[in-house]
Amino acid sequence: MYPYVRYIRRDFGDIYDYQGNDEIFENFTIFLETSVEYSIDRSKPLCRRSFDAHGLVYARLDLNTMIASNEINDEKLLIDKLWDMGIGLTDLAGKCTTSDAQQSTNFYTSNGSKYTVEDEVLVQNILKSVNLFAMLSLPDYATNDEIKCEFNRIDNQLKTKWNLISKGVTARDKLNTFYEQFMNE
């Protein structure tokens, strides 16, 4: 019937409609989904699963109905609100996604800068840790050289990314404080 179609995708998940009273978000729909892609074999006829994003959840916004149904006078306000909502949806989708699927995730900021899920994991680990060894993912018996080496590795990896990642600056300050205290003992 459609000889040029080789793949089809099926999205599974939940759909949320905005129920608040902010007119900018009227008719705003959020899709929290996971996908399965099937390849079409015309010689049989058969559909085979070729890509399964099992464990990967993504959040998608349907802006068409929102923009078509609202008269938006302040475009910058709309862009800022959508950006903030996108950050929130990325966080929500990340919490619903398995760690295996997250390994392939890249995050992009509004200015086009990029950081990886590994960078995000480092920041989150620093924030939830209570001592320098845990922040650096080192055993309690690590030597000063091992501590210095791991501290420098993390600092180099995140050097230009600390301020891109949510709470990255807080994590950097916490890590630096614990590192300086440890080295001064």
Identify the band that residue 51 occupies on the pLDDT scale cut at 50, 70 and 90: low
CA pseudo-torsion sign 141, 142, 147, 153: negative
pLDDT in tens, 9-18: 666 666 666 6
Q: Does residue 107 belong to any structural domain of this protein?
A: no
Identify the band that residue 132 occupies on the pLDDT scale cut at 50, 70 and 90: very high
Of residues 25, 109, 34, the one with CA closest to residue 67: 25
Higher-scoring residue by pLDDT: 42, 57: 42
pLDDT in tens, 64-118: 665 665 565 666 777 777 777 777 777 776 676 665 555 555 666 656 677 877 7
Residue 166 φ then ψ, to 5°:
-55, 125
- Cα–Cα–Cα angle for 7, 13, 18, rounded to 5 degrees: 125
Domain boundary pick from 68, 100, 132: 100
The token pair that represents 56 in the structure block: 């990967």
Domain boundary pick from 72, 100, 128: 100
Tell me the CATH number at 159: 1.10.287
Higher-scoring residue by pLDDT: 27, 85: 85
Q: What is the model's pLDDT at position 114?
A: 78
Q: Does residue 176 belong to any structural domain of this protein?
A: yes
Q: 93 and 25 share a domain? A: yes
CA 10 to chain centre: 22
Q: What is the model's pLDDT at position 124?
A: 87
Whether the pLDDT of residue 179 is over 90: the answer is yes
Q: What is the model's pLDDT at position 39?
A: 75
pTM of the model: 0.48
Query: Alpha-carbon distance 31 to 13, whole Å?
Result: 7
Q: 95 and 126 share a domain? A: no
Q: 55 and 133 share a domain? A: no
Of residues 88, 164, 154, the one with CA closest to residue 125: 154
- Please state, rounded to an integer, the average pLDDT across all residues of the chain: 75
Q: 60 and 121 share a domain? A: no
Beta-strand ranges (E) seen in the chain are 7-17, 29-41, 46-52, 58-62, 106-108, 114-116
Q: Which residue has the tokens 């030597």?
A: 143
Q: Check if the beta carbon of residue 34 is closer than 8 Å to that of residue 13.
A: yes
Domain boundary pick from 100, 125, 148: 100
Q: Does residue 105 belong to any structural domain of this protein?
A: no
The token pair that represents 63 in the structure block: 């802006």
Whether the pLDDT of residue 180 is over 90: the answer is yes
Q: 136 and 71 share a domain? A: no
| Burial readout 55-70 (b: 16 or more C-beta within 10 A, e: otherwise) | ebbbbeeeeeebeeee
Q: Which of 29-33, 51-55, 132-136, 138-142 has the lowest mean pLDDT?
A: 51-55
> For the chain, how many structural domains are there in total?
2
Q: Does residue 135 belong to any structural domain of this protein?
A: yes
Q: 73 and 128 share a domain? A: no
The dihedral over CA atoms of 90, 93, 98, 103, expressed in degrees to the nearest 10, equals -20
Which residue range is the domain that position 166 belongs to?
114-184
Higher-scoring residue by pLDDT: 109, 137: 137
Residue 112's identity, in one-letter code, is G
